[in-house]
Chain A
């Protein structure tokens, strides 16, 4: 299959390209940029006039809900959502049922994802067995089965000795740990940022200090063990400062922020909007601004969707009882574009934050339009508005705080491995 993508504005952060350029694809790879290789005859031509052609997005934090929670979402529904959102590679979290702590489960997931031939799935294995924070999982075996890193999802390791050993062991083999920083005792039963809004609404708060405390332990142990750590879904101003300082000290650390937290604050909870029941909680305006600044100055490396599909019934409960999470795969691009526009960030940099940077963190071959790289490509119309609604979303999870909003940035075509897998 040979594809010619013509007249598009090509944005490729890895090669610092932002100009109109044709792309030629053969055998699943990008075989030329600019002019056609000798003897190239396209089987298919995609007219990308007035569209942006960029590397397929790479999402660092996705819940696919398989195995075990198919009533919330399925591999097929979420991978269709991924390509509809221009996401061609994603890291999925291990908090499934059963937990992704056995090589067999990981192999099965990889195998099924491959058969579907949609987005690439890169599992994050459980760092400890059953995510219980006690016994290390078989990281080596899991790595061989296809895990690109190890995570505890939202479950903290309370025993710092276990955390220490986990980092030491991972560091031995150069594995990356993906950790969410939240001290579980301070956060216990909390459902919202411990601030003005939670106080008014009578919701139990999660103080910013819960993030800072957990982060302090993680950073200190990372320094001691030399482990490569990625902090998932940073949420506070203090957290941003701590990461900035740690990077200055030369720690091998990276971090991301969810697209939700770039746009929303505690005030968006309004009258108990359960769609705003997220983890970490939506924090204050000051925190939101600090996250944005951290992203601009490189303290925060990437933006993730924190895609967490939840079935409708699970959200039909009072705020604290409503299940945590919001759908996100199909919103990652549009929310990133909106942030970039608000902050006057050029597209080259903005796209890097959801593709190249994320791919580097995962250590996977994605996020570029290099010659001879896999043709994973997102083609979108940055000026086309679309309405976020349960019917416009492919994901089985329909809940999002952005429901009903008209957003700019619509994916027109998605290619994975040189095949057109989505078209709108």
Chain B
């Protein structure tokens, strides 16, 4: 089975998942992003790497935040950007995903940024586009959200450069989380020796330990001596039902409070992919506290997305872009 993300020469062709990408490529993306961090601080926040290219944000599932960061990233690379919310237009008229994609290809889109509620949607589109077109997965079902996983790695690396000496805990709804899967694969590939997941059994997928993680149900035990705490968002629709009895009980057992965070290492950092449910998975005092790196995550997210787009467009990126 060929890795659909790499071309025959082993270069990045699509970014669909953090799984199956060699460590070298993950590091290359992180290093490239490093060179883009400064761009945002310049007076003219643009580099010409994608001039003349058309990036199409194809969102089959609503998202404001992710779509915006991809738009900003593409614009800072001087690309032309089209954003389509397909769930509100063609799909409701019965057009298939491939029809939508083919139409945009006919309009000479060079790159697709795809979000879809079904796992595997980005792979599906990547399989059907011609060779010169690149696909970036901006989230497919529960499967993958690789730029989020990568920006989390970038953030961790900024604060804890020695990844080979880290203990990381991922807390919350791993079962439904594409972010968790992307983080787990990126962490294990980059050589983080201990990755923990902390959740009730109802929010963990079958045989999760086969992803290379240690499973904890007791948050206090799971947070003990960790360097990094990665919180996951709990979707509203899971809050009351067969998965969890109530928000209150969830917050009590798995919500991140300062008291629980104190069990981690004193210099531990806290990440969250956003948008946060304050008082559900995370207490406001932690979200806004000094260990939180949640806002830097957002900033780095743009650099990561610029790096991925630039690499896919084939530009040899050398030196500091700012």
Contacts and interface: CB of A to CB of B under 8 A. Distances in A.
B305 interface: no
Contacts of B207: 195-196, 199
Interface in B252-279: none
A26 B128 CA distance: 54
B120 A320 contact: yes
A200 B120 CA distance: 11
B317 interface: no
A205 B204 CA distance: 12
Interface stretch (A310-318, A370-378, A382-390, A396-404): A310-318
Interface stretch (B66-74, B141-149, B165-173): B141-149
Given A201-B143, A271-B1, A319 B210 contact: no
A205 B118 contact: no
A194 interface: yes
Contacts of B19: 200
Contacts of A272: 119-120, 123-124
Interface string A176-219: 00000000000000000011101111111101000000000000
B226 interface: no
Nearest to B207: A196
- What are the 9 A-B residue pairs with the smallest beta carbon separation, nearest first? A202-B142, A202-B143, A272-B120, A199-B205, A318-B118, A202-B119, A318-B121, A319-B120, A318-B120
B206 A320 contact: no
A270 interface: yes
Contact of B1 (A194, A199, A201, A270): A270
Interface bracket on B: 20 to 34
B118 A201 contact: no
Interface string A14-39: 00000000000000000000000000
Given A207-B206, A271-B123, A318 B1 contact: no
A195 B206 contact: yes
A195 B210 CA distance: 10
B183 interface: no
A203 B141 CA distance: 8
A320 B118 contact: yes
Nearest to B99: A316
Contacts of A274: 124
B26 interface: no
B208 interface: yes
A69 interface: no
Contact of B206 (A198, A313, A318, A319): A198
A207 B143 CA distance: 18
B211 A316 contact: no
A224 interface: no
A199 B210 contact: yes
A317 B95 CA distance: 12
B118 A321 contact: yes
A10 B1 CA distance: 40
Contact of B119 (A196, A203, A207, A313): A203
B211 A319 contact: no
A202 B96 contact: no
B76 interface: no
B215 to A, nearest CB: 12
Of B120, B121, B142, B211, the most chain A CB neighbours within 10 A belong to B120
B206 A317 contact: no
Given A271-B123, A319-B120, A202 B144 contact: yes
A213 B19 CA distance: 34
Interface string A280-324: 000000000000000000000000000000000100111111000
Contact of A201 (B96, B119, B127): B119
A202 B181 contact: yes
Contacts of B119: 201-203, 272, 318-320
Nearest to A267: B1
Contacts of B142: 202-204
A207 B206 CA distance: 9
Given A318-B118, A319-B118, A202 B206 contact: no
Contacts of B96: 313, 316-317
Contacts of A195: 206-207
B193 interface: no
A316 B124 CA distance: 8
A51 to B, nearest CB: 36
B140 interface: yes
Interface in A355-370: none
Nearest to B97: A317
Nearest to A316: B98
Contacts of B140: 202, 318
A200 B184 CA distance: 10
